[in-house]
Structure 1
Amino acid sequence: MPTRQFNRAQLADLGVPPDDPQDVEYSETVLADERVTTLKYSMQRRCVFRADDDKTYAVTYEAQLDAGHYELGQPPDDHGWYGDTVDAEEVVQRCEVVRRWKPVADEPDPDAETRTVAEHLIDMYEEGGVPTRLARQYAVDWLDAHASELIAMFGDDAAGDR
């Protein structure tokens, strides 16, 4: 896993970490700020940003908990980073299809038998939050990349079952 070290001044120049997770939509360098877990007195977050080498990196940091009117301790100084440099791992955005348990529909879908594999793939991508235009492209790309494998697996047997 490729990593790069940044000093705190470099990260501050890039706006990492943002003052508020909502600031991401106004930043040209910070691409995402995600909650990782909640600790006793702080929250661990992951900030994804674009560096000067035009690669994307992610660093974890600690931030103040947002717990309303409850009295909370302060997060560690320097975002929980110790030392003069912070290790950042190089990351890339990928779409992943996730298997989830869903409630059974009361009535079966009458179009279920006539839907194509591509339409089912598009639906899965859209359920994962991918916009329709990208979902269609991802489905086509996946089918194109795996066509020979699918033919080898099912070949003429699948065509004969119709």
Structure 2
Amino acid sequence: MPAPAAGRAFAATPKRYFRVVAIAEAITWTLLIAGMLQKYVFDAGEWGVSLGGGLHGFVFIAYAASVVLVAVNQRWSLGVAAAGIASAVVPYATIPFDLWADRTGRLHGPWRRETDGHPSDGSVANRLLRWGLARPVLVAVLAVVAVALVFGALLLIGPPGGRD
């Protein structure tokens, strides 16, 4: 297989991209749980929850956005996409979801950079997907900014259950 073009190297396939983000989401669960143990079991301060929770929140939002991106590319049903997003709520469930999606063929194939005659090719979501895939660096920057804005807004609102 030839090496991907320079702008496409960050995520050669939907499967590789999705797997990296799913694993990152699981890793940040570990950081959050370790921070909670540090705070509530070992009474060693809040810094672990602040750090782990912040990283987890950021990657959680990025994972949800990634599910939407891959769902459009792979033409997942709304139910499969919802299950993918819901898998991030349960610690470590993104890994089994990723394995299931791969095993059932839901992650197979390349990024859809061109129309292929499918009835959904003309939809807004599919046109945006193709536009974004043609500009991966710009979209990556916009995605990071969007996730950061959502994350910042959520930080202003505060954690679930309020602040101590």
Decide: shared fold, TM above 0.5: no
- Determine which structure has greater relative contact order: mean sequence separation of CA pairs < 8 Å that are 6+ residues apart, divided by chain length: 2
More helix by share: 2
Q: Which has the larger radius of gyration?
A: 1
Q: Normalising by the residue count of structure 2, what TM-score does the alignment of the two structures yield?
A: 0.27
